[in-house]
């Protein structure tokens, strides 16, 4: 007879499972009149029940990995009657649930090594980027590694991979030996990284008061994030100022900053990026319409003057012919009145939506203050500049970011085009998915790894609103008129008289005493941050562009307060400088979100696949083809994205992927973690 351990509250068998002579009737039910004082069992074991299917299993059963069978808890003794015809039943007195099996121990070690492998992979990728090396080439040919620390990381990574391979073989061998159930083979899955880094919210006090009400009113009526409108407003104002006014950030140095800026509104199509940008573009569109009408009138007048000049030239030729008949010596040639040359009227341009580099160059020759490039979808521009043969176009845009230089294009067919003032501003919208891919390629040393994306200093990626309110009211007309007046005054501001030789002078100002101190202190903090070696190379490169961003925004805000109110600008004050610093701190959080999102696009696909599995959109077992074929799921549209997602989920323990060799392509079967299957099982 079995004896109960004093104080024990665990289960053990009264007889070995191999003993098929257990008296099921005598042990299947506890007895209240136990004359032999034998201890009552804490449960009952269903011998040889390890293959009991899910449909046949009662939810109350508990699996014992060390005994390889299912257990009936003491408080569910009625289940003994249900299963005793199929399985021998024996009482259990000691718990076997707390006894780890060899497989469980190996799976625990595997989980630790898998995390270590992921950490080493991130470390060696980060180190390669810091050294400016192409990580993919290093993976293919590790003999190219010269850095000691990077070489050590690759060695440790290979060693961990070898250990994981051996562990996989050991686990498979242990499973076959113990013949464990399917659900006991799974380790606890590791969590996926957070989808997006947090960003600072936009606050209305970051804008000058003259623009604040207009931007906030438009944002509320359209139910769009104010970030889109505010960032676009700054870029458009910077384009309107262009090369007319610049700022010397230092008190005595001749370093000059032009306030032309590049910006992008990042968000899903449902976030109304394009309407938000279009709303802020309305003052510029109105100025462009006025310029077109004025140019049409000037052209009509020019045609009349051109006809009159042509007649005067013809009459002068006839007069010269008559005089030439009577004059034999050129020295005796009489003096005639010269015809003054006519200059064709120039259309003042503010922006263009789509233009070739050559055409944009011609526009800039006639508009040396600079223009705005407005693209509804910026990804179209980025992809076009990545095409083979467009390297010159990309260099043109890169040079235009400074706003202070010139540019010369030489072509056999078109000849030489010299642009004395190359100054472009850029604004547009872009969706998170394509941006992630583009940033990822730039971080990996592929296309776009030339600092182009880092020049987009005003990147805003706000969190989408979780609420919606039907706001139906008239626009704030006084606020709108006040904002439009600022645009008109900045457009009309001409600090210098037009020169006769066509040169364009830049009116320059500096910070006042308080503003200069604020800038110097902020610059000191920025330079210290850039030298900590804690920033990724891409983010560090981005933040270096803030050296010119802060004075650019400060200048724009100061001109809004002065020129916008028909006052002469003198020196950028402390208020504008402090607002510019607020913007730099705000924009840094958005930049961190952008670059973090592009570190591994496979993680985005993995999140999307895990979400689909949790929703029950895929069965317990499925093929890779079932993920992308005919589904059109976001981030899972192609075989490559599906394969990347499976690799991440398998590495973190959410799924198991088995490849089976066939005559054609290998068959890939995916099995999801038991805990995931439980999440979408219908509740009883």
pLDDT category, 438, cuts 50, 70, 90? confident
Statement to judge: residues 566 and 586 lie in one domain: yes
Mention every residue, 6+ apart, whose C-beta is less than 8 A from residue 583: 206, 234, 549, 550, 553
Averaged pLDDT for residues 171-183: 54
User: How far is CA 556 from its chain centroid?
Assistant: 27
Residue 99 sits at φ, ψ, to 5 deg, of -90, 110
Residue 466 has pLDDT above 60, yes or no: yes
Report CA torsion sign: 595, 600, 605, 607: negative
Q: Is 352 helix (H, G, I), strand (E, B) or coil?
A: strand
pLDDT, one tens digit per residue, over 524-545 is: 999 999 998 888 888 888 999 9
Q: What is the C-alpha end-to-end distance of the chain, expressed in Å?
A: 41
pLDDT category, 307, cuts 50, 70, 90? confident
Q: What is the model's pLDDT at position 174?
A: 63
Q: Which residues pair with 69 in a beta bridge?
A: 64
Domain boundary among 597, 615, 631: 597
User: In this structure, what token pair is assigned to residue 9?
Assistant: 């509250």
Q: What is the model's pLDDT at position 100?
A: 47
Q: Where are the alpha helices (DSSP H) in 464-512?
A: 477-492
Q: What is the model's pLDDT at position 288?
A: 93
Evaluate whether 297 touches 345 at the Cβ level (below 8 Å): no
Q: What is the model's pLDDT at position 590?
A: 94
pLDDT, one tens digit per residue, over 565-592 is: 888 899 999 999 999 999 999 999 999 9
In a domain, 326, yes or no: no
pLDDT category, 447, cuts 50, 70, 90? low
Burial classification of residue 398, based on how many CB atoms lie within 10 Å of its CB (0-12 exposed, 13-18 middle, 19 or more buried) = middle
| Reduced 3-state DSSP string for 374-409 | EEEEHHHHHHHHHCCCCHHHHHHHHHHCCCCCCEEE
User: In this structure, what token pair is assigned to residue 379?
Assistant: 């990804």
Evaluate whether 109 touches 423 at the Cβ level (below 8 Å): no
Q: What is the model's pLDDT at position 375?
A: 92
Q: What is the model's pLDDT at position 497?
A: 64
Separation in Å, CA 53 to CA 58, 70, 76, 400, 678? 10, 11, 19, 69, 15
In a domain, 631, yes or no: yes
Q: Which residues pair with 658 in a beta bridge?
A: 669
Domain boundary among 99, 118, 135: 99
Q: What is the model's pLDDT at position 412?
A: 67
User: Global pTM?
Assistant: 0.64
pLDDT category, 499, cuts 50, 70, 90? low
Statement to judge: residues 171 and 218 lie in one domain: no
- Name the strand (E) or helix (H) holding 440: helix 432-443
Statement to judge: residues 480 and 566 lie in one domain: yes
Residue 86 sits at φ, ψ, to 5 deg, of -100, -35
In a domain, 275, yes or no: yes
In a domain, 319, yes or no: no
In a domain, 310, yes or no: no
Evaluate whether 416 touches 408 at the Cβ level (below 8 Å): yes
Q: What is the model's pLDDT at position 226?
A: 94
Q: Where is pLDDT greater, at 526 or 167?
A: 526
pLDDT category, 38, cuts 50, 70, 90? very low
Statement to judge: residues 30 and 110 lie in one domain: no
pLDDT category, 446, cuts 50, 70, 90? low
pLDDT category, 430, cuts 50, 70, 90? very high
Statement to judge: residues 166 and 267 lie in one domain: no
Which of 424, 366, 432, 427 minimizes the C-alpha distance to 396?
A: 424
Q: Where is pLDDT greater, at 406 or 412?
A: 406
Order of strands, sheet of 571-572, starting from the edge strand that comes earlier in the sequence: 245-248, 507-511, 571-572
CA pair distance 346, 344, nearest whole angstrom: 6
Q: Would you give the DSSP letter of residue 47?
A: T
CA pair distance 58, 73, nearest whole angstrom: 11
Statement to judge: residues 627 and 514 lie in one domain: no
- Name the strand (E) or helix (H) holding 218: helix 209-222
CA pair distance 530, 546, nearest whole angstrom: 11
Which of 684, 652, 645 minimizes the C-alpha distance to 668?
A: 645
Query: Any idea what the CATH number is for the domain that residue 642 is in?
Result: 1.10.10.10
In a domain, 116, yes or no: yes
Most confident of 14-18, 330-334, 666-670: 666-670
pLDDT category, 108, cuts 50, 70, 90? low
SS3 content of the chain, % helix, strand, coil (to 5): 50, 10, 40
Statement to judge: residues 460 and 569 lie in one domain: yes
User: In this structure, what token pair is assigned to residue 154?
Assistant: 């690759």
Q: Would you give the DSSP letter of residue 333?
A: P
In a domain, 177, yes or no: yes
Residue 45 has pLDDT above 90, yes or no: no
Query: Any idea what the CATH number is for the domain that residue 264 is in?
Result: 3.40.50
Residue 407 has pLDDT above 90, yes or no: no
Statement to judge: residues 608 and 572 lie in one domain: no
Q: Where is pLDDT greater, at 564 or 27?
A: 564
pLDDT category, 34, cuts 50, 70, 90? very low
10-14, 114-118, 446-450, 481-485, range with the lowest pLDDT: 10-14
User: In this structure, what token pair is assigned to residue 364?
Assistant: 């800039």
CA pair distance 573, 170, nearest whole angstrom: 71
Expressed as residue numbers, the domain containing 626 is 602-679
pLDDT category, 415, cuts 50, 70, 90? confident
Q: What is the model's pLDDT at position 19?
A: 38
Statement to judge: residues 288 and 408 lie in one domain: yes
Number of compact structural domains in the chain? 4
Q: Is 31 helix (H, G, I), strand (E, B) or coil?
A: coil
Interhelix angle 546-561/209-222, rounded to 10 degrees, is 100
Statement to judge: residues 241 and 365 lie in one domain: yes
Mean pLDDT of all residues belonging to the chain: 80
Averaged pLDDT for residues 457-482: 90
Q: Where is pLDDT greater, at 340 or 95?
A: 340
Statement to judge: residues 144 and 219 lie in one domain: no
Domain boundary among 50, 73, 99: 99
CA pair distance 383, 381, nearest whole angstrom: 6
Tell me how long the chain is: 684
DSSP per-residue codes, 139-186: HH-GGG---HHHHHHHHHHHHHHHHHHHHHHHHHHHHHHHT--GGGGP
pLDDT category, 465, cuts 50, 70, 90? confident
Q: Is 258 helix (H, G, I), strand (E, B) or coil?
A: coil
Which of 325, 66, 304 minimizes the C-alpha distance to 181?
A: 66
Which of 592, 520, 639, 572 minimizes the C-alpha distance to 199?
A: 592
Statement to judge: residues 285 and 357 lie in one domain: yes
pLDDT, one tens digit per residue, over 239-260 is: 999 999 999 999 999 999 999 9
Residue 21 has pLDDT above 60, yes or no: no
- Name the strand (E) or helix (H) holding 643: helix 639-651
Most confident of 15-29, 95-109, 258-272, 659-673: 258-272
Residue 439 has pLDDT above 50, yes or no: yes
Q: What is the model's pLDDT at position 374?
A: 94
In a domain, 158, yes or no: yes
Task: For residue 28, count other CB atoms closer than 10 A to its CB.
Answer: 20
Q: What is the model's pLDDT at position 546?
A: 95
CA pair distance 306, 641, nearest whole angstrom: 64
pLDDT category, 109, cuts 50, 70, 90? confident
Which of 536, 546, 635, 548 minimizes the C-alpha distance to 592?
A: 536
Q: What is the model's pLDDT at position 194?
A: 63
Residue 15 has pLDDT above 50, yes or no: no
- Name the strand (E) or helix (H) holding 507: strand 507-511
Q: Where is pLDDT greater, at 321 or 490?
A: 490
| Reduced 3-state DSSP string for 572-638 | ECHHHHHHHHHHHHHHHHHHHHHHHHCCCHHHHHHHHHHHHHHCCCCCCEEECHHHHCCCCCCCCCC
pLDDT, one tens digit per residue, over 208-247 is: 999 999 999 999 999 999 999 999 999 999 999 999 999 9
Q: Where is pLDDT greater, at 394 or 599?
A: 394
Which of 174, 233, 257 minimizes the C-alpha distance to 545?
A: 257
């Amino acid at each position: 007879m079995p004896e109960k351990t004093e104080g024990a509250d665990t289960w053990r068998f009264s007889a070995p499972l191999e003993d098929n002579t257990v008296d099921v009737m005598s042990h299947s039910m506890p007895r209240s009149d136990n004359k032999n004082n034998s201890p009552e069992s804490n449960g009952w074991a269903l011998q040889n029940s390890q293959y009991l299917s899910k449909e046949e299993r009662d939810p109350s059963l508990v699996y014992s990995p060390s005994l390889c069978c299912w257990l009936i808890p003491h408080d569910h003794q009625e289940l003994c009657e249900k299963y005793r015809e199929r399985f021998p039943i024996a009482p259990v007195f000691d718990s076997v649930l707390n006894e780890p099996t060899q497989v469980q121990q190996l799976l625990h070690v595997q989980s630790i090594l898998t995390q270590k492998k992921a950490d080493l992979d991130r470390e060696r990728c980060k180190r390669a980027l810091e050294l400016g090396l192409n990580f993919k080439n290093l993976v293919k040919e590790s003999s190219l590694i010269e850095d000691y620390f990077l070489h050590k990381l690759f060695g440790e990574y290979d060693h961990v991979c070898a250990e994981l391979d051996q562990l996989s073989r050991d686990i498979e061998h242990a499973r076959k030996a113990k013949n464990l159930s399917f659900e006991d083979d799974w380790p606890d899955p590791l969590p996926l990284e957070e989808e997006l880094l947090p960003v600072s919210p936009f606050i209305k006090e970051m804008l000058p008061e003259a623009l604040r009400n207009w931007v906030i009113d438009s944002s509320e009526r359209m139910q769009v994030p104010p970030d889109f409108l505010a960032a676009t407003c700054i870029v458009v104002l910077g384009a309107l100022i262009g090369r007319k006014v610049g700022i010397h950030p230092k008190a005595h140095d001749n370093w000059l900053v032009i306030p032309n800026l590049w910006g992008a509104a990042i968000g899903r199509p449902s976030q109304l990026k394009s309407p938000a940008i279009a709303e802020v573009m309305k003052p510029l569109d109105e100025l462009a319409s006025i310029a077109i009408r004025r140019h049409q009138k000037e052209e009509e007048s020019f045609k009349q003057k051109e006809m009159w000049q042509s007649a005067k030239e013809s009459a002068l030729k006839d007069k010269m012919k008559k005089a030439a008949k009577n004059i034999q010596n050129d020295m005796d040639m009489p003096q005639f009145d010269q015809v003054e040359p006519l200059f064709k009227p120039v259309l003042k341009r503010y922006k263009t939506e789509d233009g070739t580099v050559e055409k944009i160059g011609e526009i800039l020759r006639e508009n040396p203050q600079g223009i705005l490039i407005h693209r509804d979808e910026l990804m179209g521009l980025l992809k076009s500049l990545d095409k083979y043969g467009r390297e010159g176009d990309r260099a043109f845009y890169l040079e235009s970011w400074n706003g202070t230089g010139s540019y010369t294009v030489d072509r056999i067919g078109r000849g030489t085009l010299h642009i004395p003032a190359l100054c472009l501003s850029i604004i547009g919208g872009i969706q998170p998915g394509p941006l992630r891919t583009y940033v990822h390629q730039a971080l990996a040393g592929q296309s776009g790894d030339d600092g182009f994306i880092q020049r987009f200093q005003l990147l805003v990626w706000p969190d989408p609103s979780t609420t919606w309110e039907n706001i139906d009211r008239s626009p704030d007309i006084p606020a709108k008129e006040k904002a439009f007046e600022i645009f008109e005054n900045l457009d009309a501001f001409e600090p210098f008289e037009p020169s006769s030789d066509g040169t364009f002078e830049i009116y320059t100002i500096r910070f006042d005493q308080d503003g200069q101190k604020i800038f110097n202190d902020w610059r000191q903090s920025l330079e210290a941050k850039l030298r900590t070696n804690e920033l990724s190379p891409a983010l560090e490169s981005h933040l270096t562009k803030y050296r010119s961003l802060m004075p650019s925004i400060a200048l724009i805000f100061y001109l809004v307060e002065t020129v916008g109110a028909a006052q002469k600008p003198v020196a950028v004050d402390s208020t504008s400088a402090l607002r510019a610093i607020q913007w730099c701190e705000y924009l840094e959080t958005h930049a961190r979100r952008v670059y973090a999102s592009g570190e591994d696009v496979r993680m985005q696909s993995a999140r999307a696949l895990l979400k689909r599995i949790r929703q029950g959109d895929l069965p317990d077992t499925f093929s890779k083809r079932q993920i992308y074929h005919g589904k059109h799921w976001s981030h899972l549209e192609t075989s490559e994205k599906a394969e990347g997602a499976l690799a991440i989920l398998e590495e973190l323990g959410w799924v198991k992927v088995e490849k089976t060799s066939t005559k054609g392509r290998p068959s890939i079967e995916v099995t999801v973690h038991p805990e995931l299957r439980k999440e979408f099982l219908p509740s009883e």
